[in-house]
Amino acid sequence: MKDFHDMSGCPPAYLPDDVTDIPNLMKVLLQAEQCAVKQYTKICNMTAGKDHRTYDLALAILNEEIQHESWFSEFLGDGPSGHFLRKGKTSPFVSKFLE
């Protein structure tokens, strides 16, 4: 797994020493999501107009990552994320790839 992660372009998201410090934990998770957004944006830019299937999947995952980023940002008080309530394992973005 470490070798696979090292290819991701994102630094490891280490838990803070005090795992009961929820705001600090949320900051770590927010930074991880922000890096994921950058990486999936790069994949979308590399595949746009060239590899439609990969682009479609990367764009779906990118939308998920943007939503996750907004949740952590909202939790930290950076303003409303505008996200919607989702139930269960539903996803408006990646569900078509899970069938």
**Is 1 a member of any domain?**
no
| Average confidence score pLDDT of the chain | 84
pLDDT of residue 83: 52
Q: What is the CATH number of the domain that holds 26?
A: 1.20.1260.10
State the Cα–Cα distance between residues 72 and 74, nearest whole angstrom. Answer: 5
User: Which two structure tokens, joined as six digits, stand for 93?
Assistant: 């973005």
Tokens 């470490």 belong to residue: 2
Q: Six-digit token pair at 88?
A: 């269960």
**Residue 79 scores a pLDDT above 60:** yes
- Kindly state whether residue 4 falls inside one of the protein's structural domains: no
The pLDDT of 18-41, averaged and rounded, is 93
- Any domain includes 6: no
Extended beta strands in the chain, E state: none
AA letter at 68: H
Whether 7 maps to a domain, the answer reads no
> Does 11 map to a domain?
no
> Averaged over 35-55, what is the pLDDT?
96
pLDDT digits (tens, 9 = 90+) for 47-78: 999 999 999 999 999 999 998 898 888 888 77
Give yes or no for a contact between 64 and 91, defined as CB atoms under 8 angstroms apart: yes
The structural domain count of the chain equals: 1
Q: What is the pLDDT of residue 84?
A: 52
Closest listed residue to residue 82, CA positions, set 91, 70, 93: 70
Q: Give the percent of the chain with pLDDT over 90.
A: 46
Q: For residue 26, give its domain range.
A: 20-80+88-97
Answer whether 38's CB lies under 8 Å from 57's CB.
no
**pLDDT reported for residue 49:** 96
